Structure 1
Amino acid sequence: MASSAVRPTQLKRKSSDPHKLPTRFSMVRSFQLADFVTLGNGVCGCLSLMFAMKALITQNTDFLFTSFWCVPAGVLFDILDGRVARWRKSSSLLGQELDSLADFCSFGIAPAVLGFACGFQKMLDLVILTYFVCCGLARLARYNATVAAMPTDSNGKVKFFEGTPIPTTLVIVGVLAYGVHNGKFWRFANPMYQHEGPFAVFSQAFTPEYVWGGEISLFPGYELHPLVLMYAVSGTLMISRRLRIPKL
């Protein structure tokens, strides 16, 4: 009987077994309140993408404007998560990475998809939109890699940004929303889908005279919408190391 009894030391060793499965929802339990606010930013970015695709499928600008509004909502969550973290005096490497991923979704990918939805669909347009997305990704990666070495104030807050912060792409979204509101992009003759081929309706809606600013031909067969260059400017400013923006 005595030889079959489990010793206390054995119980302790078993409880500290490195191969033991983690408890359920252990990752979610480790989230701080600010992390859940950051997730709200990511949700806004995801919804913006879905509503933009829904707008193209249904040819309904109501879905497009909903997609536009999701981006400033993401900015609001992005502002709040930092304030909540300072209020709760809680910050972590997980929160920092989560914030960057949410920002990339809401302010990197979503504005590019909205540009595509508004008619920037030529091959050179796609090159510039891809450049813009890559700049946003590189800017966030650089910030995460260098934030620990950047100068801070007495509260431990970084004093300035290198390059424009990625939420400034809200300006681009505002330009697109203004254009759609004033009939500068979408001009569907028939709101219902016309079965004349998979791209017939879209070529009708995004002809040069309908897309704001028209289009120019740089090479035979390679056209460009000049307004898409605002994405190139925004991306270049984000990755600039000489441009320093004071952090408010």
Structure 2
Amino acid sequence: MSQRKSATKQQVEAEHKADALHQYQETDGHFSLVRNFRLADLVTIMNGVCGSFSIFSSAHYLLTNDPDYLWSAMVFPLAGLMFDFLDGKVARWRKSSSMLGQELDSLADLISFGVAPALLAFVVGLRTYLDTVFLTGFICCGLARLARFNATVALIPKNNGGKAKYFEGLPIPSSLGLVAVLSYWAKQGWIEGQQGLPWGTTTLWGAVGGRGEVHYVSLIFGCWAAAMVSKTLRVPKI
């Protein structure tokens, strides 16, 4: 009986996927992609917009040293989280979801909660060669976590409402916790150009200030990255 139910479920999912692909095949023209957007997809794109503004605000801060740009860079990911929550509610309200929406959600999350926080960490002081290695690993682990979620979400047990019971690995929006810490340090002046980051640096090889120097804070980003790709860490979904 369970095998029959599983086969029926897979058949329904295959039919749904075929219908979705047929939708994109039937439309043509320069703006056909835009016409295929659902309202929830547009909300998801706003998440990506917020992440992009955060990145550009960080770049402006590096160029001008204007603290207003730094605070803007820290606020935009939070706005992105608002849109990340809102797109699911809009999809359920309109009773419409799409394959495109799932991919858009992951790509927007990577910008707002992966790239933007990593660049913020660089801006406030994680600027050594090894620091950037840790930050690159943080982004790539977030990318891997999002890809795995898209590929395996159907295998995660669901509740009666059809929602996944838990996340495998730390969800990438949790990186806003790191942004909150960076914001507190910025308020206290514990950033590059002022008092410097807490705990300082250590030199693993070579001379002080060389490629072997790394901030202890980078280890936090390394641990966070490992938690995102962990398969045994299960975070209950609220």
What's the TM-score bracket when you normalise by the shorter of the two chains? 0.7 to 0.9
CA distance in 1, matches of 2:193, 2:58: 16
Q: Does 1:60 align with 2:66?
A: yes
- What is the TM-score when the length of structure 1 is the normalising length? 0.81
Q: Does 1:25 align with 2:31?
A: yes
1:46 matched residue in structure 2 = 52
2:146 matched residue in structure 1 = 140
Q: Could you tell me how far 1:91 is from its partner in structure 2?
A: 1.1
- What amino acid is aligned across from residue 90 of structure 1 in structure 2? S
Aligned counterpart for 2:84 among listed residues 57, 78, 91: 78
CA distance in 2, matches of 1:213, 1:62: 26
CA distance in 1, matches of 2:148, 2:126: 28
- What amino acid is aligned across from residue 75 of structure 1 in structure 2? L
- What amino acid is aligned across from residue 235 of structure 2 in structure 1? I
Q: Could you tell me how far 1:137 is from its partner in structure 2?
A: 0.4
CA distance in 2, matches of 1:149, 1:132: 25
Question: Partner of 2:141: helix, strand, or coil?
Answer: helix
Q: Could you tell me how far 1:49 is from its partner in structure 2?
A: 0.3
Point out the structure with max Rg over C-alpha: 1
CA distance in 2, matches of 1:21, 1:134: 34
Aligned counterpart for 1:224 among listed residues 214, 221, 238: 214
Q: Does 1:162 align with 2:152?
A: no
Question: Partner of 1:219: helix, strand, or coil?
Answer: coil
In structure 2, relative to structure 1, the CA distance for the partners of 1:242 and 1:21 (3 Å cut) is closer
State whether residues 180 and 186 of structure 1, in contact with CA within 8 Å, keep that contact through their aligned partners in structure 2.
no
After superposition, what is the alpha-carbon deviation per residue over 1:180-203, rounded to whole angstroms, capped at 9, x for unaligned? 111000436xxxxxxxxxxxxxxx
Question: Partner of 2:217: helix, strand, or coil?
Answer: helix
Q: Could you tell me how far 1:62 is from its partner in structure 2?
A: 1.0
Amino-acid identity (%): 49
Please give the residue correspondences for 1:94-243 in structure 2 after superposition, counting only pairs within 5 Å: 94-187=100-193, 210-221=196-207, 222-243=212-233
Question: Partner of 2:235: helix, strand, or coil?
Answer: strand
CA distance in 2, matches of 1:66, 1:21: 39
The number of equivalent residue pairs is 210
- What amino acid is aligned across from residue 227 of structure 2 in structure 1? L
CA distance in 2, matches of 1:20, 1:235: 41
Q: Could you tell me how far 1:24 is from its partner in structure 2?
A: 4.1
CA distance in 2, matches of 1:24, 1:240: 42
- What is the TM-score when the length of structure 2 is the normalising length? 0.84
List gaps (5 residues or longer) in structure 2.
1-24
CA distance in 1, matches of 2:27, 2:145: 37
More displaced stretch, 23-32 vs 237-246: 23-32
After superposition, what is the alpha-carbon deviation per residue over 1:110-163, rounded to whole angstroms, capped at 9, x for unaligned? 111111111111111011111101100000000000012222122221111100
In structure 2, relative to structure 1, the CA distance for the partners of 1:20 and 1:135 (3 Å cut) is closer
Say what the alpha-carbon RMSD is for the aligned residues: 1.6
Question: Partner of 2:203: helix, strand, or coil?
Answer: strand
List gaps (5 residues or longer) in structure 1.
1-18, 189-208
CA distance in 1, matches of 2:101, 2:223: 29
- What amino acid is aligned across from residue 49 of structure 1 in structure 2? I
